[in-house]
Every structure is written in structure tokens, then in C-alpha cells.
């Protein structure tokens, strides 16, 4: 202990010099004197003590010296006596309230003086030090729901995406030009909390859909801002109206269910053409089933006609359009469609989902098959799907329905498709799919209960979401921009016939679950990670459609589709 004390005394001058650089003095007290007197002992710098002094043992105390300079309110040279309170906190602090040190770190000037949600002024040519033009006044925003309708032809789906034309992209740009979205928020829809009730695939139409976001509804100089937005939109995209909703409103989560309608020509139910690749694979597989008589397409009234033996695809299409479905076949479709009602595992009717994923469980409230109706030369059938929610590419349900009925496959195959085995189900063309409207019964009941005690002029009053208020405008829009457009494209391009011919030309094993027993054979099961021989490949032209051009030339693409891998969060965002 004595040697340690001597070493400390000899090192005192160097220690004192170091501490003085940091405005700290080391003082000590005579323990013997302090015991004899109650008054504070005199303070002496440690440098006054000479090495080898015989003075009694000393105890040192470190005290902070107040800096001479006056610190700015935003600067922190050292720790304060107490942790900062909520009213005095400045910058980043730890859990105890002490300021976090930024020693050794570069000064953060990246966002200095910048308000969140504002574009970088340097990009607009306004440099630091230059005189800036006065900013536009900040107008109040309100959480609003836009009731819209659109013809999806020519758009790459509903959801906004970079570098492609989408419904939300066109709508958002129109809102910016009309003044409902400020220039500060024009660069990113996330800033206004953009959401949708139902997402639609490329080329899919909607008579009614809902998008929600924070909008400026009191635009200076504009009396009817909805009409102003419609002026900025193309005729195939319409805003039916706007509803002031609760601030917590989420378009997708607040939606109870959706209604979709699928239209298709009845000639899709004609059996495969004799001699086609699909018919040969079907007959070969059916012959291996004992006691089963396979479907004989050549015996069907359509293919038994003499003119069908040497006919071209165009000749067949002309005859198909004049063909009419029987009442027995309509009832067969209705019985098979009933298999979709209820809660089931729809992993085979979407992409990127494993059998054990709980999100595959979806509930279908009702499936309705209308009576056939003739428009022009073609007979059409509509199928109404009312479901809680729909997965990405769930129009595969329509494909399973049509393909099983045209091949006389028992309806129990639908139950098989809910099982763990993975099979390939083609997608029906996007042209025939129409989103009727989303339903918000739970939200409407909640706001109705709140509104009972409020006047319509009260700031907390929230109207119900009701598409029926715009029924007349919606029906007129559907006839002009959806039904007429759909039939025009089919008459011109024969999209549905081309899709069915792509099915019939396939001679591999992927579609062998379409058989007289309605059982999925091992040859048709897709195993993860295993390469298949002659897999069925879909074509993108059945997803993308367009308005007829002036020359009447088809503009749909014909390359093969490659299914991109999507993570779970991305899949959830693309569903509706």
C-alpha cells in the first residue's frame, strides 16, 4: 500500500496537467484536520504536495469546474447534474435520460431544416443561401374513401407500380393535378396512406372498387372536387363519389366481402377436339382405369358434323359462336359450382402458397350461375362469386369449373384440389373478370350506431359506404366500357377460343386430373424442386388485353408467362 501511495505522489504532476486540460481540478483534504473540525477543510491543488512528503494520508476528490463559456441551448459539452425531463430533452438520449454522445461521429446535416413529407428543395433548383419562393399554404387533409369504377384494359392491374400504367397510378396523378394531393406528397402515395379494398389483375375490370387516402377536400376555387378529378381522368376510369371515413379506416381490412362476376362464351363447354393433344393424353390415361368408359369427343354433336373433320380453327370458331348450351349442362355447372361454397383451402387456386399456410383458408358465401344470354352471334354465361376475400389469380376457380364440366369430370375433383397435393390449374383469360363492388357491412353498422346521436353537420358524423347510390351511373358505365368492350375484343381476337385451343394442344401429364374418376393421379402431382417433363406453360396474352386500335389489329402479346416468386407480404398486398 505504501509503494502505491508513493507512486501516486510521483505521478501527481502529470495527472494534474492532464486533468486541467479538461477543466477538472483534483483536490484533497487532510483527514486528521477534518476529524478535529466540523468546518470544511481548506482545498489545495495536488501539485503543491512534494514527492516524499511525510504528511498524513490524503483522500482525493474530483470536482467539476464550471466552464467559462456559455453553452447554446442546443449544445451539450458534458453531462448535466440530472437526467433531462420531457420538457428539457434535446436530441437522442438513453433510457435514463442522459444525452447520447456523438463523439467521433460526423455531424448530421442531411435533414437539417427539412420537414418530413417535403421534397428535397435542392432538386428543384433552390440551393442553400438562395432566396426561396414562398411555400404554398398547407391545406387540411381528411381520411376519405373514393368509390371508383374502371375498365382494366390497357392497364397492368390495379395496384400502383413503377414504370407501368396502372389504375392507381392514373388516379393518383389526376388527384395531384386536381389539387386533392399536395405537391409535397405528390412523389410518394405512401405519404397520404393510399390503400385499396380489392386488388385486380392486369386487364381486369371493376364496376365498383374503393381506395382510401388522406385528401384535400376543400380545394381553393373548386366547388365540386370529385367532378374536378374526373376531368383529369380518362373516360374509362371514373370516380363515383367520396365518403368521409374514420381516421382509423383501412380499405382492405374494413372490407367484409367482395363480389366478382366472370363472363365467358358458352362454347367453352364443347369437349376437346378429337385428335388433339389433350384428347390423346386423356384417352390414354382413362384406358388405364378399369371399368371406366372415357369421354368420346367424336360422338359429340358438334364434332360429329361432317364439316368438322377438315375444318380450320377459324371455321371451328364461327361454328362455336352459333352453338348453344343445353339446360342439362347449365345444371351441371351449377352443381359443380356449389363445391366452391363454404370455407376451403384454396392453395391450388393461387400461386406461391404452401398447403399448410393458414391464409389459404377462404370463405365463399355464394356462387350463382345465370341463364345463358345471346349477344351478337355468341351465347354468354355469367358466374357471380361472393366471397370474403380472393387470392392472387383465383380466377383459376373458373378454369377448374369449365374444364371439369367440358370433360365430364366428376365434381368431386374440386374436393381433391383442396387436398395437399399440388397440381397445375391454368388461369382463365382476364378479359371476362369483373369486380362488381366491395361490401362494408360491419363498418356501416359501426358508423350508423355512432351517427344516431349526431347531426349530419357534426364533424364526427360519418356517412355509410354505399355503391347503390350510384347504380344508374355504374350500370351505364358497365354497358359502355366493360360489356361492349369485352364482346368487341372477343369478336375481334377470339381470346377465349385461343385460350381453349392452347389447353387442347397440350399433351403432357399436368392436366390428367381431368378424368372420368375425378381423382388426381400421381403423374399430375407437382413435387417441389423436381423438374417435370413437358410442363404446361401459360401465355401472357391471356392476361393482357387492350382497346381495339384504329386498324383493328390485335395488340395482345403472345410470349410465355414466367411466374415470378413473391414473398408472403407481397402476396398479401396483391390480394383482394
**Where does 97-156 have alpha helices with state H?**
none
Report phi then psi at 402, rounded to 5. -70, -45
Contacts of 478 (CB under 8 A, 6+ apart): 149, 207, 434
Three-state SS string across 380-396, please? EEEEEEEECCCCCCCCH
DSSP state of 251: T
Three-class DSSP category at 1: coil
Give the C-alpha separation, 437 to 475, whole Å. 12
Catalytic residue among 30, 187, 188, 201: 201
Would the CA dihedral through 11, 17, 18, 23 be positive or negative? positive
Dig out the grid coordinates for 248 from the structure. 382509423
Please state, in angstroms and rounded to a whole number, the distance separating the CA atoms of residues 235 and 481: 9
If phi over 0 gives left and psi between -120 and 50 gives alpha, with beta otherwise, what is residue 306?
Answer: alpha
Asked about 201 being catalytic, the answer comes back as yes
User: What span, in angstroms and rounded, lies between the C-alpha atoms of 508 and 489?
Assistant: 30
Q: Dihedrals φ, ψ of 61, to 5°?
A: -135, 135
Q: Sign of the CA dihedral 406, 288, 279, 506? A: positive
Query: Which residue carries 347449365 as its cell?
Result: 330
**How far, in Å, CA of 299 to CA of 563, rounded?**
38
Put the strands of the sheet holding 24-30 in their side by side order. Answer: 44-45, 24-30, 58-64
235: CB partners within 8 A, 6+ apart: 481
Is residue 495 helix, strand or coil?
Answer: helix
Rounded alpha-carbon distances, angstroms, from residue 323 to 274, 372, 429, 486, 491: 18, 12, 21, 19, 15
Instruction: Please tell me the distance from the alpha carbon of residue 523 to that of residue 512, in angstroms, as a whole number.
Output: 7
C-alpha 222/C-alpha 230 separation (Å) is: 13
By annotation, the residues acting in catalysis are 201
Amino acid at each position: 500500500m505504501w509503494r502505491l501511495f508513493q507512486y501516486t505522489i510521483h505521478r501527481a504532476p502529470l495527472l494534474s496537467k492532464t486533468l486541467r486540460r479538461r477543466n477538472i481540478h483534483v483536490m484533497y483534504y487532510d483527514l486528521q484536520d477534518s476529524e478535529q473540525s466540523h468546518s470544511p477543510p481548506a482545498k489545495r491543488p495536488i501539485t503543491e504536495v512534494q514527492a516524499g512528503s511525510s504528511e498524513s494520508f490524503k483522500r482525493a476528490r474530483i470536482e467539476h469546474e464550471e466552464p467559462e463559456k456559455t453553452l447554446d441551448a442546443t449544445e451539450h459539452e458534458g453531462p448535466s447534474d440530472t437526467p433531462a425531463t420531457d420538457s428539457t430533452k434535446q436530441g437522442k438520449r438513453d433510457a435514463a435520460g442522459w444525452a447520447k454522445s456523438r463523439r467521433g461521429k460526423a455531424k448530421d446535416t442531411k435533414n437539417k431544416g427539412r420537414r418530413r413529407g417535403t421534397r428535397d428543395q435542392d432538386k428543384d433548383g433552390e440551393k442553400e443561401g438562395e432566396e426561396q419562393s414562398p411555400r404554398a399554404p398547407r391545406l387540411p387533409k381528411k381520411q376519405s374513401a373514393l368509390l371508383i369504377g374502371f375498365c382494366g384494359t390497357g392497364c397492368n392491374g390495379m395496384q400502383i407500380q413503377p414504370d407501368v400504367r396502372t389504375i392507381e397510378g392514373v388516379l393518383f396523378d389526376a388527384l395531384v393535378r386536381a389539387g386533392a394531393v399536395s405537391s409535397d406528397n405528390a412523389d410518394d402515395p405512401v405519404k397520404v396512406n393510399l390503400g385499396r379494398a380489392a386488388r385486380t389483375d392486369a386487364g381486369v375490370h371493376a364496376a365498383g372498387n374503393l381506395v382510401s387516402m388522406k385528401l384535400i377536400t376543400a380545394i381553393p376555387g373548386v366547388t365540386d372536387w370529385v367532378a374536378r378529378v374526373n376531368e383529369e381522368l380518362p373516360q374509362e376510369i371514373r370516380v363515383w363519389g367520396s365518403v368521409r371515413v374514420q381516421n382509423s379506416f383501412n380499405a382492405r381490412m374494413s372490407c367484409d366481402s367482395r363480389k366478382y362476376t366472370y363472363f365467358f362464351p358458352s362454347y367453352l363447354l364443347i369437349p376437346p377436339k378429337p385428335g388433339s393433344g389433350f384428347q390423346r393424353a386423356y384417352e390414354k390415361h382413362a384406358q388405364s382405369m378399369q371399368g371406366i368408359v372415357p369421354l368420346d369427343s367424336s360422338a359429340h354433336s358438334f364434332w360429329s358434323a361432317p364439316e368438322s373433320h377438315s375444318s380450320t380453327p377459324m371455321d371451328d370458331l364461327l361454328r362455336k359462336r352459333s352453338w348453344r348450351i343445353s339446360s342439362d349442362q347449365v345444371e351441371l355447372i351449377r352443381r359443380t359450382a356449389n363445391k366452391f361454397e363454404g370455407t376451403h383451402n384454396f392453395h391450388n387456386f393461387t400461386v406461391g402458397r404452401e398447403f399448410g399456410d393458414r391464409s389459404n383458408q377462404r370463405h365463399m358465401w355464394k356462387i350463382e350461375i345465370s341463364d345463358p344470354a345471346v349477344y351478337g352471334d355468341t351465347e354468354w354465361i355469367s358466374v357471380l362469386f361472393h366471397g370474403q376475400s380472393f387470392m392472387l389469380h383465383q380466377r383459376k376457380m373458373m378454369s377448374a369449373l369449365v374444364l371439369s364440366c367440358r370433360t365430364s369430370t366428376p365434381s368431386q375433383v374440386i374436393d381433391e384440389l383442396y387436398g395437399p397435393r399440388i397440381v397445375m390449374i391454368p388461369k382463365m383469360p382476364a378479359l371476362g373478370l369483373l369486380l362488381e363492388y366491395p361490401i362494408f357491412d360491419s363498418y356501416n353498422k359501426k358508423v350508423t350506431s355512432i351517427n344516431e346521436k349526431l347531426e349530419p353537420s357534426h364533424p364526427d358524423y360519418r356517412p355509410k359506404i354505399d355503391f347503390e347510390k350510384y347504380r344508374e351511373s355504374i350500370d351505364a358505365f358497365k354497358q359502355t366500357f366493360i360489356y361492349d368492350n369485352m364482346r368487341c375484343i372477343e369478336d375481334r381476337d377470339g381470346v377465349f377460343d385461343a385460350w381453349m385451343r392452347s389447353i387442347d394442344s397440350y399433351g403432357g401429364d399436368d392436366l390428367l386430373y381431368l378424368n372420368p374418376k375425378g381423382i388426381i393421379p400421381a403423374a399430375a402431382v407437382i413435387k417441389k424442386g423436381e423438374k417435370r417433363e413437358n410442363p404446361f406453360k401459360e401465355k401472357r396474352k391471356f392476361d393482357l388485353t387492350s382497346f381495339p386500335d384504329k386498324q383493328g389489329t390485335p395488340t395482345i402479346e403472345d410470349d410465355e408467362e414466367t411466374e415470378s416468386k413473391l414473398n408472403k407480404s407481397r402476396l398479401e398486398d396483391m390480394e383482394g
